[in-house]
Every structure is written in C-alpha cells, then in structure tokens.
Chain A
Amino acid sequence: MKCNEWNNEWIASLYGEIDESELGEMERHLATCEGCGQHLRQLGETRHLLSENGPTVESGGAFSPRVVVLDTARGRRGGGWRFAGGFAAAAALFALGIFVGIQAFPRQPVVLAGSDDGIDLSNPQSTQIEAIPASDLTHLKQNYETLEQRLGRIETWLPKNEGDRRPIIATENRLQLAVGRLNQEFDQRRAEDLEFLFDAILAADAEARQRDTRTLQVLEVMEARRDPNVRPR
C-alpha cells in the first residue's frame, strides 16, 4: 500500500478500532516510513487537543423539566380526531336542543300592523301610485297665455297720452268695461287655477305620503318573510 492509502487505518488505530491483521501491517509500514510515523503522531496530538479542548457544554439540568411536557404529549396523538369528535357531539346536542325548543314552544306568527287596509302585502307591486296627468298643467299654461295675448291686444288700443288718435273701434267706456271684465275673468281663472294647483300639490303630497307608508309596510313584510316563523295572513 502507498502512504496515502493508510489514512483510514491511521484513524482506526487512533481510536483502537483496527483489526489485528491491519495493525500488524500498519506497524510494518511505519517501521520503514518515517514520514507516515510523523504524520500519525501529529494526528494523535490533534486528536488529543480536540479531546481536551472541545466545546464545553453546560449542565443539561435545565432540560429535565422540559421533558415533563412529554408526559402529556401522548394526549396530543390523535388530538385532532378527538377534537373533531367532541365538536360534532356538541353540535349535535345544540341542534337537538333547538329542535326540542321549537317543538315545545312554537312561535306565534307575526301579524303586521296596517295590513288590513286592502294592501296586498304579498304583492309589493300593487301599491303603485297614479301620476298626475301632465296635460292638465299644459292646459293651464295655454289658458294663461291666451289671456295674456287678449289683454295685450286690448292695451295696445288704449290711448297712452292725451291727444293720441287711435282708430276707435269702441267707446272708451266699453273698452274699460272690456278690460275690467277681462281682468275679472283673469283673476277668477287665476284663482281657480291656483286652487287647482294647490289641490294637485296637496293630492300629490298625500299620494307621496301614502306611497311611503305602503313602501314601509311592504319592506316590513319582505323583512318578516325571512323569518321562518312568520307566514302571510
């Protein structure tokens, strides 16, 4: 064997784990090779340094209490299944309790106030409000425009200054009477129209209030329907 082939045997001999036959062969080589002998001595010195100056280890006494945890660790084996089983049992008991409670104390159906006024609570679309016809307002506007035109034409023919000579188609008195009647008609129509507008506004307001009320009622019905203990009358 060459010198560099004895490495494993050097190590085995240092720790006393070499066969007798290998030991004899190694000693014969050492007797003829000074370099290998010196190398083996150096390895021995290094091993001695390593043995005498290795990493110091503090006392492991502090470790012992931690081992106590192991006494309970066994309980952790299969802990997931045990927890799942306990959870399932608790859930089953809870469901059973609810079922018994419902059977023993049935809840009375909720009757909503205001549901007797003819509103079909089962059909929220039935509470729609009719809109105010737009043609009425257009008609009012046309009437006012006509009156304004008639009044304008009459005032055009009235003399603005003394000495004005306009074609006289009527006496001044008749014109004043015509203007007076027109103004009276105008005021009357305006009063009637204002009354109509006020009535329309009030009606619209009343309709809006009624619509809001019905909307609230419908919402209450819809909310109540989510409760399994509420059934429509």
Chain B
Amino acid sequence: MNHLGAETLIGPATDEELVAALQAGDMQSLGQLVVRWEQPLYRFVCRMVHRPEDARDVCQETFLRVLDRSDKFRSGSRFSTWMYQIALNLCRDRARRKKRWGRIVDDGKEAPTETTAIRGDQLGVNPESDSVRSELAQAVQSGLMQLPPEQREVLILKEYQGLKFKEIAEILSCPESTVKSRMYYGLNSLRQTLSRQGIT
C-alpha cells in the first residue's frame, strides 16, 4: 500500500504530507497537490500576469518546480506559502523579462482619461447597470495596475487569495508590519486614484 493509500484510510493528507510523499518518490501525491491547488494558483497568477496564456505557463512551471525542488521543501513550512513563493518569483521574472511591470495585472488598458472617467453620480443612477459595473471594474483594475509592484502583490494576495498577513509575510520574506504598511499605502493610493476619477 502506498503512502496515499494509507492516508486515505485515516483521512485527507495534508499538503505537507503530500510533499513528503513526493519527496519519497510518490508521483500520485503531486497529482493530488495539483488538483488541490491548480485553481487558486491559476486565479492568483492570472491576476499577476497580463495574459491567461502566460498564467497557464507560469502555473505549469510552478508545479514543475515543485516537482524538481521537492527535496528543498523544509519540514515545518506550509506548502501553499512555498508554492506562492515560487509562482510569485516566476511572475516577477516574467514581468522583468518583458519589462512590463506596469502591466502585470490582468488588465492591460490605459488609465481612464477625463472623458472616460466614471463620475460618482453615475453610481447613483443605476448601480446595477452592466456598463457602469464594467467601467467601475475597469477603473479599479486600472488603479490597481498603477500601483508599485510590491503594493499590488500584497493587495492581490490579501484581497483575492484571502491569505493571512503572516502568510503573505512568509511568501514575501518580509516582516508582517511591512506587509500591512504596503497594504495601507496601496489601498490609500488606490483610493486617491479612484477619488480623482470621482468614484469615491
């Protein structure tokens, strides 16, 4: 009976147990990790890189690195943190290669001009209007894109991936206070950007 078979009798294996099994040569454990994490990872990467095709490549490369470097995974660490670290570094490398730091959020459109800016009173006319919602989303995404990369990373990891500040700090290898500080300044900058467009 293999490692996974034994675990299924007890209960679902944790991520860290699956990595341990992978280190022991159990390929099925990698499949379990992929099934478990491919969607969250894809959503995260998709928000970090510009194109969905790039996001798929980064996800693929992330799992390949998990496979190749499983022996470097330290016991006591969280697999998700390690995986996000790998994915984030790959996203940074890709963005650095393409020199597109300003476009790594999945938007790619220029910031709204004065003529296309959303006025606050538009929100009151018909908040549920699809066009207004689309323009609002576009403004938010554009504002997010204009943030410095370190602030944008924190906002995405916190707001969309739902990670704890402590986990983000581990991923970014920085103090938790730094994460909160980046979060604050990123959120404040986004508020000012949206305010200039009359949204907040």
A: residues with CB less than 8 A from B are 7-8, 10-12, 15, 17, 42-43, 45-47, 49-51, 53-58, 60, 62-64, 66-67, 69-71, 73-74, 77
Contacts A57-B46, A73-B67 supplied; 4 other A-B pairs, CB < 8 Å: A45-B200, A49-B194, A50-B144, A64-B38
B: residues with CB less than 8 A from A are 27, 30-31, 34, 38-39, 42-43, 46-47, 52, 56, 59-60, 63-64, 67-68, 105-107, 133, 136-137, 139-141, 144, 155, 158-160, 164-165, 177, 180-181, 183-185, 187-188, 190-191, 194, 199-200
Overall SS of chain A's interface: helix
Q: Is the CB of A63 within 8 A of B184?
A: no
Kindly provide the distance from the CB of B99 to the nearest chain A CB, expressed in whole angstroms: 21
With A15-B158, A17-B165, A63-B42 as given contacts, are A50 and B184 in contact (CB-CB < 8 Å)?
no
In the complex, which residues of chain A have a beta carbon less than 8 angstroms from the beta carbon of B67?
A: 70, 73-74, 77
In the complex, how many residue pairs between chain A and chain B have their CB atoms under 8 Å apart? Answer: 115
In the complex, which residues of chain A have a beta carbon less than 8 angstroms from the beta carbon of B56?
A: 62-63, 66
Kindly provide the distance from the CB of A14 to the nearest chain B CB, expressed in whole angstroms: 8
Of all chain B residues, which has the CB nearest A67?
B34
With A50-B140, A54-B140 as given contacts, are A8 and B42 in contact (CB-CB < 8 Å)?
no
Of all chain B residues, which has the CB nearest A43?
B187
Q: How far is the CA of A10 from the CA of B184 in the complex (A)?
A: 8
Q: How far is the CA of A54 from the CA of B139 in the complex (A)?
A: 10
Q: Is the CB of A58 within 8 A of B180?
A: no
With A58-B52, A60-B43, A66-B56 as given contacts, are A47 and B165 in contact (CB-CB < 8 Å)?
no
Q: How far is the CA of A45 from the CA of B188 in the complex (A)?
A: 11
Kindly provide the distance from the CB of B4 to the nearest chain A CB, expressed in whole angstroms: 15
Point out the residue from A51, A54, A58, A71 that lies within 8 Å of B141, measured CB to CB: A54
With A60-B38, A70-B64 as given contacts, are A51 and B180 in contact (CB-CB < 8 Å)?
no
Q: Is the CB of B60 within 8 A of A67?
A: yes
Q: How far is the CA of A43 from the CA of B155 in the complex (A)?
A: 13
Q: Is the CB of B159 within 8 A of A54?
A: yes
In the complex, which residues of chain B have a beta carbon less than 8 angstroms from the beta carbon of A12?
A: 165, 180
Q: How far is the CA of A56 from the CA of B105 in the complex (A)?
A: 10
With A8-B177, A62-B56, A66-B56 as given contacts, are A53 and B136 in contact (CB-CB < 8 Å)?
yes
Kindly provide the distance from the CB of B104 to the nearest chain A CB, expressed in whole angstroms: 11
Q: Is the CB of A11 within 8 A of B200?
A: no
